[in-house]
Structures are given as C-alpha cells and as structure tokens.
Homo-oligomer: A and B are copies of this chain.
Amino acid sequence: MKDSRFRLDFKVRDYECDMEGIVNNATYMNYLEHARHEFLHTLGIDFAEMTAKGIIMVVIRAELEYKSSLRSGDTFTVCVDVERESKLRFTFVQDIFNSDGKLVLKGRITGTAVNSKGRPELPPELEQAFGI
C-alpha cells in the first residue's frame, strides 16, 4: 500500500453486499465519499458546515476501476490524496486496498465548489488546503 495523505479503515457491512455476495459497485462510492469527508475534516473543512454556509462542494467526475471484490467480513483501507487540476478543479486520488494489501479499487473523484449564487468558487479554507 502506497504512502498517502490520509487513510481510513473500514469493515464491510453485510447490508452493503448484493445477491452476488460481494459489495455492490455503488457502495464503493459511499466508501470513497466518507473517506474524502473525513480527510477534509482533518483540514478543518466540515462538509455539513460548508453546506449550511451555502457552499456546495460538487463532484463533477468519477472514475472507478474495480480490481477485486470485497466480501462479507473483509476489512479494507481507503487512501486519499489530492491533486489540483485547475484553478477551480481538484481531484481526489482514492485507492482501496484489502487487509492483504491487494488493490481493490482505483478511484479518481474530481470536484469543484459552487457558492450560493451557483458559481464555481473555491472557499479560502479549500484554497489553503490545496494551495501548495
């Protein structure tokens, strides 16, 4: 498992598995979101507060490569790194590894932020976090 800016450990919950007995594809988006929000929290960015202030962080693109499956009882780690794409866009690079260190999923989630007028605008907290 590579060195990442943030990591979060999870355990598969049985309701996340579908009738194939594996974690449903959509559920990985949940895992990735939770890890991103926890990562943002370490930067002093609270998603609920931002939403209350009228700043909406939006995902504009998601790319997921499914490499192996997670099953009931599996534990896994979601890694989070972030890349600046442009003035207004940033990409979370999020890989998931199982407890044996096997790659489960490679994710790239690109987002921007929209202010209360609906215009793209990264808030200062976010600028600072991605600034360097």
Determine if A61 is an interface residue (Cβ-Cβ < 8 Å): yes
Would A14 and B73 be within 8 Å (CB), given that A63-B63, A65-B61 are in contact? no
Chain B residues with CB under 8 A of A56: 20
Interface string of A69-99 (1 = CB under 8 A from B): 1011100000000000000000000000000
How many copies of this chain? 4
Task: Say what secondary structure dominates the interface of chain A.
Answer: mixed
Chain B residues with CB under 8 A of A6: none
A interface residues, how many (CB within 8 angstroms): 36
CA separation between A41 and B48, bound complex, in Å? 27
Residue positions of A touching B, CB distance < 8 A: 13-15, 17-21, 24-27, 29-30, 33-34, 37, 41, 46-48, 51, 56, 58-66, 69, 71-73
